[in-house]
Structure 1
Amino acid sequence: MINVAILDEHPVACDALKALLHDADDISIEGCNTTYRELIGKLSENQTHVILLVLYQPEVNDVESIRLLSQRFPKVKVLVLSMFKDERFILKMIKAGAKGHLSRDTNRSEILEAIYTLRNGYEFYAKTITNILLSSYLSDDQIDVSEKETRQKSLSDREMEVFKLFAEGFSNREIAEQLFISVRTVETHKNNIMKKINMKTTVDLVKFAIKNNIIELD
């Protein structure tokens, strides 16, 4: 069972999100919290796995709160839901410890997929967020060309298929449907890809894909 806590400063919106997810398989919604203090009290009492953090305005205090949550509760994964498009602020949240980001107007299935993905130890970003992140990550490259080519050649044909689709912004479920494999198999391929090319985050995977012409930006 995946224990999920929600933090949303608007009680009505929080209740709506809880109702949206209450009957999901293997997910237990621990309740709605409207302040960080209230949330931390619940985290200290319960074995929470994922926090759904709903944000409305880009505030520096939220970045610091994400940092403190990640430091105090390192096993708890923070999934941010917002309408932010500011690249710098999104990067700050991720560097502070957020493991996923979705648009606040996303659908139920994507929220559930993100929760399952974070619980399995991976990060999850919506398609619109991935491209926002790339420009900052593309500016720093410490791997020489020959080493990158060696890493790329170590991938199997199936891994390259999964890699390309993921880097283009397809979700695990969408990749599974296109390749006629299970979501769990997609996750296994992604894990193997990250190990083979020595990347630690999903954003780094997309960066690697662009720099090695596996995909192209529009």
Structure 2
Amino acid sequence: MIRVALVDDQPLVRAALQMVIEEAEDLELVGEAGTGAEAVRLAEQAAPDIIVMDIRMPEMDGIEATRQIVAGPSGAQIIVLTTFDDDAYVYGALRAGAAGFLVKDMALEQILDAVRVVAAGDGLLAPAVTRRLIKDFASAQPSQQTEKVRELSGITEREREVLTLIGSGLTNTEIAGRLHISVATAKTYVTRILAKLGARDRVQLVIMAYEAGLVGGPAGTGAK
């Protein structure tokens, strides 16, 4: 059972997600909060596996709440809900350690699927968020690109191919299907890439893929 907490200052958003979570046999709603400060307390008290986190909230925003929760002992993974007007906030949430980014106009079932993906150990970024926000994040740091390309020289061609697909927003299951390998093998590749590149999580791998020009830019060679 995946323990889920909802954090959003709009009760209607929480109510809609609550309804579909309660209908899911593999998900359990363990708490709700309307501010970032409440979210930090909720993470400590309810021990959720996944927190679906809004960004713009009173008292403490979702970025600072994410930072405190990730740094704390709860072990909860954060999925940030955003809109395309929240670019700067999303950059901050990347640095704070969020494991996933979704846009608020996604179908509720897609959000639940994202919860399952992150709970299974995959980071997740909605394709639209990946292509717009992470590309901008990488291009804003050109001084890092040479270093990132040098780091990528330590991975094999197959691992580079997997990294390209990660940068395009594919999950382990989708990577397995694209490369005609098992999901277990795809997970092994991801684990190796994380270790070789010294990345904290899958989101950082997406950033590295963009910084290295594997996807998203004129020099990109990634899947469309």
TM-score, L = length of structure 2: 0.74
2:73 counterpart of 1:69: no
CA distance in 1: counterparts of 2:95 and 2:70, whole angstroms:
10
Alignment of 1:151-190 (within 5 A): 151-152=154-155, 154-155=156-157, 157=158, 159-181=159-181, 183-190=183-190
Q: What's the offset of the Cα at 1:207?
A: 4.1
* Cα distance, 1:121 vs structure 2: 4.5
**What residue is the counterpart of 1:143 in the other structure?**
147
* 1:82 matched residue in structure 2: 82
Identity rate of aligned residues, in percent?
A: 26
Offset, 1:184 = 4.8
Paired residue type of 1:133 = I
Asked if the contact 1:84–1:90 (Cα under 8 Å) also holds between the matched residues in 2, the reply is no
Aligned-pair CA distance for 1:60: 8.5
Structure 1 Cα separation of the partners of residues 210 and 40 of structure 2: 39
Deviation string, structure 1 residues 73-109 (Cα, Å, up to 9, x no partner): 4511221112144432211122233222110122345
Change (3 A) 1:135 1:58: farther
Q: Please report the TM-score for the alignment, with normalisation by the length of structure 1.
A: 0.76
Using the alignment, how far apart are the partners of 1:40 and 1:207 within structure 2?
27
Q: Contact 2:67 / 2:97 at 8 angstroms: preserved in 1? A: yes
Task: Please give the secondary structure, in 2, of the residue aligned with 1:135.
Answer: helix
Counterpart of 2:95, as a letter, is: K
**Displacement after TM superposition at 1:167 (Å):** 1.7
2:210–2:217 Cα contact (<8 Å) kept: yes
Q: Deviations over 1:133-154 (max 9, x none)?
A: 2333342326276x446313x3
Q: 1:212 to 1:69 in 2, by over 3 A?
A: closer
Q: Secondary structure at the match of 2:153?
A: helix
- Distance in 1 separating the partners of 2:86 and 2:47: 33
Report the alpha carbon displacement of residue 192 of structure 1 after superposing the two structures with TM. 1.8
- CA-CA distance at 1:3 after TM superposition: 0.9
Deviation of the 1:69 alpha carbon: 3.0
For 2:71 and 2:200, the matched residues in 1 are separated by 19
Check whether the contact 1:87–1:133 (CA below 8 A) recurs between aligned residues: no
* Deviation for aligned residue 1:51: 0.7
Deviations for 1:193-217, whole angstroms, at most 9, x for unmatched residues? Answer: 2223333343443344345453352
Tell me, what secondary structure is at the counterpart of 1:98? Answer: coil
Matched-pair contact (CA < 8 Å) for 1:21–1:108 = no
CA distance in 1, matches of 2:148, 2:92: 27
Q: Give CA-to-partner distance per residue, 1:140-172, whole Å, 9 cap, x none.
A: 326276x446313x34x3x44432222223344
Change (3 A) 1:60 1:39: closer
Q: Once the two structures are superposed, what CA deviation does each residue of 1:172-195 show, in whole Å capped at 9, x if it has no partner?
A: 443344344554543332222222
- Return the letter of the residue paired with 2:51: I
1:38/1:213 CA distance change after superposition, 3 Å: closer
User: CA RMSD of the aligned region, Å?
Assistant: 3.2
What is the deviation of 1:59?
A: 7.0
Q: Distance in 1 between matches of 2:19 and 2:114?
A: 17
Q: Which amino acid aligns with 1:61?
A: M
- Partners of 2:153 and 2:94 in 1: CA distance: 29
Whole-Å separation in 2 of the counterparts to 1:208 and 1:78: 20
Asked if structure 1 preserves the Cα contact closer than 8 Å seen for 2:138 and 2:210, the reply is: no
Secondary structure of 1:200's match?
Answer: coil
